[in-house]
A and B are shown apart, each in its own frame.
Chain A
Amino acid sequence: MKDRSYSAVMARKNEIMKDSVGIDYDKYRITDIAFDYERMMEEVGYSLEEVEEIQRETGVGNTPLIELKNITKLVRQISASGRGARIFLKDEAANPSGSFKDRRASISVYKAKELGFKGVIAATSGNYGAAVASQAAKRGLKCIVVQETFDSRGIGQPEILEKGRACEAYGAEVVQLTVGPELFYYFLLLLEETGFFNASLYTPYGIAGVETLGYELSKQCRNLTGKDPDYVVVTHAGGGNLTGTARGLRKAGAYETKVVGASVNLSGLHMASDRDFNRKSFTTGHTGFGIPFAVYPDRSDVPRNAARVLRYMDRYLLVSQGEVFYVTEMLARLEGMLRGPAGNTSLTAAISLARELPEDAVVVVQETEYTGAGKLPSAQLSFAIENGVEVLRGDPFVLDKPGKRIVIPEKPEQIKAMDFPLDRLRKSYLKELVKRGYHKLAEEDLKFLSVDLRLNEDKIVEMFEEVLNNG
């Protein structure tokens, strides 16, 4: 029997993953840092037409784009004269399992079946689990979802418990673990034991699946407004949503559209901390994923992550938990749509953004998700209070304190997203390289980084020097 200790399993990581995703990542390797991203996407993924066809088979995609007329009116009321862009929402909750994650799962599960795998495994506490379970059900494959669910007291985050329930409803086995990055260790053990397909969020399949989202919304926006969106706001966690959407927009020819990432600010909370785990109300779409995955994408469960946000992100906005709860209620009361929480993170950022823009500008929020028990603000805030987090009204910009205080705005004017400078992310990306022992950049590295960070080579050399000298 193989050694099951943490270090032994992690040492077999590459071997296990190679067998479980059907991709020979070595083929695309240029250096330790650089690889041929576009060639990988082209050869391993599917064309947009193929993706559309695969998704049609399981009822994924073609979700409506809805103008949020009342929220737009409200935004204009609180903006300077002539300001207040039109806001549209892509209702991804209309997908079979209730989120855009069906787009990602549909292609992975299709591929798993095509390659002859008997089942699929996904490591996720989020909607992706339900999406993989749903697609696996439709295609007759077995499914295991591995979740980080409980703290050491055995108390589960309600949003995660709900997503676990959904997975079970679609017939998946749900492995529920306590807090810790060793979830990945157990995930590898399961891949080894079962020989199932790794339905990673970060393969080219997963990203190709999201391209239809950007493509569709561009076409719908042209139909409704006569032009491409000026801004598309995307909730950002692991990076696949933003990467896939941006690539889809380009495939539709929407080159001028700005892509804005939005995350809930959870700074100060440690994502692997047993104590902090149940002091956050948002289990995804937050900076605990958003920043690390932007600055070190290859930390994921595949050797080369196909989700690379710094290639595509034009702006990164942070909002607070309290603002998102406020906007979730606003969407229900003003637009008659009970959704969230994830999509409402980007909606919150969009409201803030729309106030800066002229009235004829168009902002598209590209995602909603199903909601219900465990996910509603009432469930989340009840849980927060039970876990010692204070909930109050006030100005989130001044009072927000993740893990200690959730601050619900007193008025819509207090919805105000914070810009997180992209150069700070780029610098952190280079810091991560240095941390992993790279102190010199070859010519191929520079060429790759220039695209991966969307920065010219001279600037990268300068930034890298700075990081080497000052840490």
Chain B
Amino acid sequence: MKAIKGQWVQIHAVILKPGERAPQVPEDTKKVPLEMRIKGYLLDEEAGIGDSVCIETASGRKVEGTLVAIEPEYTHNFGKHVPVLAEIDREFSKLMNSLKESERK
């Protein structure tokens, strides 16, 4: 799939390579680069995933990077059914009933 000029896309760029990272970062972080992802409108005429492109961001900046998504979607959600939560919710319903009972007394 190709993105066309003016389409909402996401790019990726490496800001600092592993050897360029701040001296105080822990070992596991030191081994990986500092990466950036940012969204904006594609300025190139046409581009595919993996191409080097330039975008214009919401604040009007022009930023270069590798195209990683076309019309990116939000992927976070409300979560799965978590049995532990269902369990405590049932306990709270019972608790609420007992609080109501004590009110009547």
- A residues adjacent to B (C-beta < 8 A): 5-6, 70, 73-74, 77, 119, 142-144, 149-150, 152, 154, 156, 158, 161-162, 165, 168, 171-182, 185-186, 193-194, 270, 272-275, 325-326, 329-330, 333-334, 372-374, 376-383, 385, 391-393, 408, 412
Contacts and interface: CB of A to CB of B under 8 A. Distances in A.
B29 A376 contact: no
B37 A180 contact: no
A380 B82 CA distance: 10
Interface residues of A, dominant DSSP? mixed
B92 A329 contact: yes
A73 B98 CA distance: 11
Which among B32, B37, B89 has the highest number of chain A CB atoms within 10 Å?
A: B37
B21 A150 contact: no
A381 B16 CA distance: 32
Contacts of A275: 28
7 contacts: A74-B95, A158-B79, A173-B39, A175-B36, A185-B22, A272-B24, A272-B29
A374 B74 CA distance: 10
A381 B79 CA distance: 8
Contacts of B15: 177, 182, 186
Given A274-B28, A380-B79, A194 B89 contact: no
A194 B35 CA distance: 20
Contacts of A158: 76-77, 79
Nearest to B57: A173
B1 interface: no
B92 A176 contact: no
Contacts of B93: 333
B92 A178 contact: no
Contacts of A383: 79
A180 B30 CA distance: 9
A456 B29 CA distance: 41
A194 B99 contact: no
Nearest to A146: B36
Contact of A374 (B29, B36, B59, B76): B76
Contact of A273 (B16, B28, B59, B81): B28
Which among A156, A274, A325 has the highest number of chain B CB atoms within 10 Å?
A: A274
B39 A168 contact: yes
B61 interface: yes
Interface string B31-44: 11111111110000
Given A334-B92, A373-B77, A172 B58 contact: yes
Contacts of B102: 73, 77
Contacts of A74: 95, 99
Given A73-B102, A178-B35, A382 B59 contact: no
Contacts of B34: 177-178, 180, 182, 186
Contact of A6 (B22, B39, B76, B84): B22
B84 A392 contact: yes
A373 B61 contact: no
Contacts of B60: 142
A161 to B, nearest CB: 4
Contacts of B85: 325, 329, 377-378, 381
Contacts of A168: 39, 58
Contacts of B57: 144, 173
A270 B26 CA distance: 8
A347 to B, nearest CB: 14
B105 interface: no
B79 A379 contact: yes
A376 B96 contact: no
A99 to B, nearest CB: 18
B20 A273 contact: no
A177 B35 contact: yes
B35 to A, nearest CB: 5
A161 B78 CA distance: 12
B64 to A, nearest CB: 13
